[in-house]
Amino acid sequence: MRIDLHAHSNASDGTDTPAELVAAAVAAGLDVVALTDHDTVAGYPEAIAAVQALPAGTGLTLLPGAEISCRVEGISMHLLAYLFDPTEPAFAQERELTRTDRFRRARLVVERCQELGAPITWEQVERIAAGGASRPGEEQGSVGRPHIASALVEAGVVATVSDAFTSEWLAEHGRAHVPKHETDPVEAVKLVRAAGGVPVFAHPGAAKRGRTVSDQVIGELAAAGLGGLEVDHIDHDEPTRARLRALAAELGLFTTGSSDYHGSRKTVRLGEFTTAPDAYQALLAQATGARPIVR
């Protein structure tokens, strides 16, 4: 079984449409793919329809999910959430708060970039984010720093998206960085569980993005209902993975592996990292908010 539990569509900062992501999952030979856009479920209708349109017996399962922006002790972190009820009001309201605040923040980041001499515009960022940012009549997607990074690439300011994530521009303490609304992760874990979902700490050891959360905080999240730790991730080196695996065993958490695919906005391939079937089964056994879509 090939199980990839973390992928983005253009409902947030991926470049594939939700339907293209489903097609890419089939092409990559995946058995399971999770759609985990940042702070939004806007990609669900298209992704679900794409799975349902596959030939019967294709052998693909879609796990609807999301990646929730959190902050604890001054550190930004991401919480993956799977198989929650997307209509549960308290969690839906928190996602909406974060998603809308991303637009306020993105405009300010664009202004900072302009003041710093980068010839980018809000209209350009809106166009780049448009896949997720403006679908008439449906929940909108979310805008993020990677869209602004793509605008900086288009304008010739930096060569690649990841070159925009430096102290010069968009990194955590960079010249053009503006904070956004982020949920306390203990609160987020409780919101996910109350919506019947399963929370997993995304890339907890991704040090290149800034400081990482202490083992003590991870222990507190486990006590609050965290289900697992994402261990096999491109941003974790081997010693980090070993340390996280030991911590997960100590805390009774399952461990996952996933690509964190962003289409052409990052170099990682869909299915490059995968989750073991027993961890996937542990996740499924804890979920009560939604069913996987199987085709």
Q: Which residues make up the interface to Zn ion (CB under 5 A)? A: 67, 260
CB of 8 to Zn ion, least distance (A): 6
CB of 96 to ligand AMP, least distance (A): 16
Does residue 165 interact with ligand AMP by CB under 6 A?
A: yes
Binding site residues, Fe ion, CB under 5 A: 13, 78, 202
Q: Which of 104, 208, 269, 291 binds ligand AMP (CB under 6 A)?
A: 208
Q: From the list Zn ion, Fe ion, ligand AMP, none, which binds 162 (C-beta under 5 to 8 Å, kind-based)?
A: ligand AMP
C-alpha–C-alpha distance, residues 227 and 215, integer Å:
15
**Which residues contact residue 252 at a Cβ distance below 8 angstroms, ignoring those fewer than 6 apart?**
222
**Which residues contact residue 244 at a Cβ distance below 8 angstroms, ignoring those fewer than 6 apart?**
204, 205, 229, 231, 236, 255
Return the sign of the alpha-carbon dihedral for residues 204, 205, 206, 207. Answer: positive
Does residue 236 interact with ligand AMP by CB under 6 A?
A: no
Pairing of strands 293-294, 254-257: unpaired
CB of 37 to Zn ion, least distance (A): 8
Does residue 182 interact with ligand AMP by CB under 6 A?
A: no
CB of 11 to ligand AMP, least distance (A): 13
Q: Which residue is nearest to Zn ion (CB)?
A: 260
| Burial per residue of 124-161, b for 16 or more beta-carbon CB atoms within 10 angstroms, e otherwise | bbbebbebbbebeeebbbbbbbbbbbbbbbeeebbeeb
**Interface residue list for ligand AMP (CB under 6 A):** 13, 38, 69, 144-146, 161-162, 165, 208-209, 262
